[in-house]
């Protein structure tokens, strides 16, 4: 790779691409998979037969919405804060139940994508018009810093879809510590977590036959071409997922099938790829009860309850802060 001097980065995406593609091994943060096209592709992924995570968590929420609602409800009402809200398909199971029970609550969906928040707000207005919605655009860290000041009534923080898996265990501990620091006694944290299971089932979830997950990962190259004036050839890369059953780490890579050089004009950068060199794009960490208990203890959280699907492949955990 060659560059005259580091540019002044105009966007976080530009900075991440520059740092990631000038490091070894090469990498790009998975959060940049989610531009408008990426959002659309991920919605398709969630409907794929191989991608069991969405269906399993939906099953848990449908079967246990009464119990979960009873845990969330409080006399003075509560603020329901969802990190990485997406299309809200699963959350709507709870919202409909809360409306039926006439709970006093406000829904604060959090997402980095304004496009996603706008679509969610519009769908809620049509499907569940009684919900009081206050969208919060920004990174989790930015929003959590603001929400730490919400002290007038109970907070319930949702983190569904096993999004915790996008972090390494060390990053997950740091993230959960930030969650705990934003909580007051009586607040709750409700997290969906994909469980360790048959390795082939996990690999199939990230390598669907229709090629949607491959398109989702390759959309990073499309985005760099569009936003950073790059000249990536999509046909020069293949999508490659791996799963390590010992560590529980499922990782996705874009693998260069030939030696070639890419120009990224907006960054004044030339990036050379060896044949079979990789760009690490995503991690999807899988957990079990033991590793979740370790995460909670490290972060200052205590586990209150958990719910699982019938096959015990996915779980939702409810936490409170361990300090008083």
What is the structure's pLDDT at 143?
80
Task: Tell me the sheet residues that pair with 80.
Answer: 107, 156
Q: In degrees to the nearest 10, what's the CA dihedral of 33, 36, 42, 48?
A: -140
Give the Cα-Cα-Cα angle 198, 200, 202 (nearest 5 degrees): 75
Query: Positive or negative, the Cα torsion across 38, 41, 43, 45?
Result: negative
Distances (CA, A) of 215 to 100, 275, 309: 40, 21, 29
Total-model pTM: 0.88
Task: Tell me if 85 sits within 8 A of 111, measured CB to CB.
Answer: yes
Helices (DSSP H) in the chain: which residue ranges?
A: 12-21, 36-46, 52-72, 91-100, 114-127, 140-147, 169-181, 199-205, 212-227, 289-299
Q: What share of the chain is helix, strand, coil (3-state, %, to 5)?
A: 40, 25, 30
Angle between helices 91-100 and 52-72 (to 10 degrees): 30
Percent share of the chain, pLDDT over 90 = 83
Confidence of residue 114 (pLDDT cuts 50, 70, 90): confident
Residue 153 has pLDDT above 80, yes or no: yes
Phi first, then psi: give them for residue 310, nearest 5 degrees: -60, -35
What is the structure's pLDDT at 291?
95
Residue 246 has pLDDT above 70, yes or no: yes
Please, where in the chain does CATH 3.40.50.150 lie? 52-195+287-321
State in words which class domain 52-195+287-321 has: alpha beta
- What is the per-residue pLDDT across 185-229, written as a single tens digit (0 to 9) for each? 999 999 999 999 999 999 999 999 999 999 999 999 999 999 999
- What is the per-residue pLDDT across 118-131, written as a single tens digit (0 to 9) for each? 999 999 999 999 99
Task: Tell me if 242 sits within 8 A of 264, measured CB to CB.
Answer: no
The tokens describing 121, both together, are 């707000």
Closest CA to 190 of 52, 91, 66, 75: 91
């Amino acid at each position: 790779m060659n560059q005259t001097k580091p540019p002044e980065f105009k966007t976080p995406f530009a900075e991440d691409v520059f740092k990631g593609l000038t490091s070894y091994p090469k990498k790009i943060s998975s959060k940049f998979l989610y531009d408008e096209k990426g959002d659309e592709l991920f919605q398709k992924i969630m409907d794929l037969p191989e991608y069991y995570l969405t269906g399993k968590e939906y099953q848990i929420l449908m079967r246990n919405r009464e119990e979960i609602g009873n845990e969330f409800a409080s006399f003075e009402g509560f603020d329901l804060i969802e990190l990485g809200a997406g299309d809200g398909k699963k959350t709507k199971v709870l919202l409909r139940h809360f409306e039926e029970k006439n709970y006093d609550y406000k829904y604060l969906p959090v997402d980095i994508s304004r496009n996603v928040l706008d679509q969610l707000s519009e769908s809620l207005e049509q499907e569940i018009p009684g919900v009081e919605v206050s969208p919060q655009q920004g990174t989790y860290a930015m929003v959590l810093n603001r929400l730490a000041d919400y002290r007038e009534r109970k907070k319930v923080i949702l983190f569904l879809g096993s999004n915790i898996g996008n972090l390494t265990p060390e990053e997950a501990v740091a993230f959960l510590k930030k969650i705990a620091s934003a909580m007051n006694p009586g607040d709750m944290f409700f997290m969906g977590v994909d469980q360790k299971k048959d390795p082939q089932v996990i690999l199939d979830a990230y390598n669907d036959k229709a090629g949607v997950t491959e398109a989702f990962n390759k959309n990073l190259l499309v985005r760099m071409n569009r936003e950073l004036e790059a000249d990536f050839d999509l046909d020069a890369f293949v999508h490659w997922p791996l799963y390590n059953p010992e560590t529980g780490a499922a990782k996705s890579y874009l693998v260069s099938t030939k030696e070639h050089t890419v120009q990224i004009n907006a960054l004044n950068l030339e990036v050379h790829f060896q044949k079979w060199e990789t760009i690490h794009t995503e991690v999807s960490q899988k957990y079990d009860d033991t590793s979740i208990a370790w995460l909670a203890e490290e972060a200052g959280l205590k586990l209150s309850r958990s719910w699982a699907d019938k096959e015990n492949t996915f779980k939702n955990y409810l936490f409170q802060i361990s300090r008083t």
